[in-house]
Amino acid sequence: MSTAEAGTSAQQTPTPADQEEDPWTWTWTRDNLAVVSILIKEKKQLREAVRRYEAAEERMEKYKNGPLARQRLDRLLREVNRDGMQPSHVHELREILDEFPEDEA
């Protein structure tokens, strides 16, 4: 028996002599289960990597928008000093703070 024959015969399950093997059934071997387990773990790791990448991308976007947010904040402060605090200023201030990097907000 060659190694190729041994590999295929190890994956086949014996069937009773009077019963035909259904071509649509597939027997789970330890190797098959190990492969599926590895694929599930890799899928979880990939999802986590994508989540981390998206979070890093969002942080970088905030750092790029930081100077613009500072300019908007300076303009808003001048308006508040001139006109007093208005309800529209509160909404704009929230938007500006969302654009600041987390360590500066």
- Angle formed at CA 78 by CA 72 and CA 81, multiple of 5 degrees: 140
Domain definitions of the chain by residue range: 30-105
- pLDDT tens, residue by residue, 68-95: 778 888 888 888 888 888 888 888 888 8
What is the amino acid identity at position 77?
L
- pLDDT tens, residue by residue, 96-105: 887 776 655 5
Structure tokens at 81: 């000093």
Q: Which residues contact 29 (CB under 8 A, 6 or more apart)?
A: 10, 11
* C-alpha dist (Å) from residue 66 to 97, 102, 103: 9, 10, 11
